[in-house]
Amino acid sequence: MVMTRRVAIGLPVLLLADSLGGAETADQRNARMRWWREARFGMFVHWGLYSGLAGTWEGKPVGDRGGMEWIQDRVKADTETYAKRAIPLFQPKPGFAREWARLAKEAGCRYVVVTSKHHDGFALHDSKVSDFDAGSVLGRDLIREIVDAVRAEGLRIGFYHSVIDWHHDQYEYARSKQLPHPLKGRPYPNGARDHAKYVEYLHAQVNELVSGYGPVDILWWDYSAQDFQGQEAWRAFDLMDRVRAKHPAIVMNNRLFRIPEAGFTGMGTDAVSARLDPKYGDFITPEQHIPATGMPGVDWETCMTMNTTWGYSEHDHAWKSDETLIRNLIDIASKGGNYLLNIGPKSDGSAPAESVKAMQAIGAWMKVNGEAVYATAAGPFEKLDWGRCTQKQLRNGKSRLYLHVFDWPKDGRLVVPLANGAGVRARLMASGKSLPVQATAGQISIAVGVQAPDRIASVIALDLDGPPSVAR
Ligand code: H79
């Protein structure tokens, strides 16, 4: 009797420990990361109370550049004042989430990461542990609407969750000199705080997000400081274990930490290094920039805005061109990374017209050329004068290079520094037409004609009988 009970209880505990401890093998990790690595392109959504403020505070523009999801900090408002101004302006319309999901799908994104809570502390779900949430304020569970819509389009879903919190009355902002808070440098308004209570709340709220919404594919934590991070600041390992207990295959970023082993060299958004011990997360997170080279052995994702703010601002008109956005996606794929491209919907949930147009332009390009992005690996060349290259391994040792031509050759001959070019076959993706290839020592020359099929990026697929050998 006693023995049976022991076995019955002991077995699941063992299995659980196995799935949580650092017991994952390289093969298991590769299998878990596979969809994310193949996806290459995701849509980030920053949306919350700040969206209704739209970069304006008490009738005045706060600025026309920079993250307006930070508006509470920019104007140094306490949470009551911020809530009083922002809540009446946050007016999600019915069906907004379906528009996002369709937009992401049309753009060719394979996943959507949405702000479940940003630094201001306002949660978009119906939270039982908070009254600063969409459930309490609007009587709606916006996360439910978003998750359902995203899944209905066949896309993966991720939550961006800020561990910084400008609302919670036990969050000890004085513990870090580096982390922002609107009341920084001022005494706690409500007397002594107990940060452990905030951490309890953080865990409980994350637990709601990973319990009530079906499969969650990504947790995108934001963020930590060198002087306050990891286990000390957030009980980070426990938090990750809690999430993995519900979703063993989930993919998480590195931002519960800020140490060299987790890919951080400092506090800047570009202070990243090609280093990540898997116990700190699955990928590193260059923000608003693309690394100069790929990082073999380290998964990475560049997140980026289309103008200069994550949360909607009516004052920021510094929109990137379609050319920049499409070439960024290609540049990132050619270095083996993912592109998480942001939209900042307005108060009612509608995406700015500029973002809709940009996503549609990317989608039109991906419809023709997506094969040269999805499930590709970093190209073999260090540098190409005319553009970028991605590659795939095919069956039987064969391989395919995708040449993304930004600057079309004026003389109609595209030169590729390939040493084993004899017998390669070239095909223009846009038309499917074969192109004549001449191989000489150390290079091939493809007769591409003088007219660029696509002024932003035209792709030529090159089929090789073996792996590519780069000429030097
Ligand atoms: O959610 C987005 C940012 O709000 C968040 N991460 C991305 C994904 C982020 N939090 N902190 N940081 C990024 C780094 C700090 C950026 C700053 Fe600024 C530059 C703080 C002050 C100047 C941007 C511009 C935010 C406020 C003004």
Tokens of 46: 């920053």
What percentage of the chain has pLDDT greater than the value 90?
Answer: 95
Domains and CATH numbers, the chain: 16-372 (3.20.20.80), 379-464 (2.60.40.1180)
Reading the block at residue 69, the tokens are 């999801």
Q: Which amino acid residue places its CA nearest to atom 14 of ligand 1?
A: 269
Judged against a pLDDT cut of 50, whether residue 17 lies above it is answered with: no
DSSP secondary-structure letter at 465?
Answer: S
For the segment 427-455, the average pLDDT, to the nearest whole number, is 97
**Is pLDDT of 451 > 70?**
yes
* 160 contacts 217 by C-beta, under 8 angstroms: no
Nearest to 182 by CA among 192, 191, 171: 171
**124 CA to centre of own chain:** 19
3-state SS assignment for residue 243? helix
* Spacing, Cα 165 to ligand 1 middle (Å): 14
Contact 313, 64 (CB under 8 A): yes
Cα(66) to ligand 1 centroid in Å equals 8
pLDDT at 472: 84
pLDDT tens, position by position, 141-173? 999 999 999 999 999 999 999 999 999 999 999
What are 297's two structure tokens? 């052995």
Quick check: CB of 303 below 6 Å from ligand 1? yes
Q: Of 334, 352, 333, 335, whose CA–CA distance to 343 is shortest?
A: 352
Pocket test for ligand 1, best of 222, 255, 258 (most atoms within 8 A of CB): 222
pLDDT value at residue 23: 82
| pLDDT at position 80 over 90 | yes
Residue 18, pLDDT > 70, answer no
pTM exceeds cut of 0.85: yes
pLDDT in tens, 355-386: 999 999 999 999 999 999 999 999 999 999 99
Å from CA of 309 to ligand 1 middle: 9
For residue 38, give the amino acid letter.
E
Average pLDDT, rounded, for the chain: 95
Distance CA(341)–CA(352), nearest Å, equals 14
Residue 337: its pLDDT value, please? 98
- Model confidence at 22: pLDDT above 90: no
SS3 158: strand
3-state DSSP assignment of residue 307: coil
Q: What pLDDT, on the 0 to 100 scale, is given for residue 1?
A: 28
3-class SS at 230? helix
Going from the Cα of 220 to the center of ligand 1, the distance in angstroms, rounded, reads: 15
pLDDT digits (tens, 9 = 90+) for 166-225: 999 999 999 999 999 999 999 999 999 999 999 999 999 999 999 999 999 999 999 999
pLDDT band at 21 (very low <50, low <70, confident <90, very high): low
Summarised one tens digit per residue, pLDDT across range 221-233 is 999 999 999 999 9
Best CA proximity match to 150, nearest among 56, 44, 291, 59? 44
Mean pLDDT of all residues in 9-30: 62
Residue-wise pLDDT for 289-328, tens only, equals: 999 999 999 999 999 999 999 999 999 999 999 999 999 9
Residue 304 confidence (pLDDT): 98
Question: Taking 60 as the threshold, does the pLDDT of residue 12 lie above it?
Answer: no
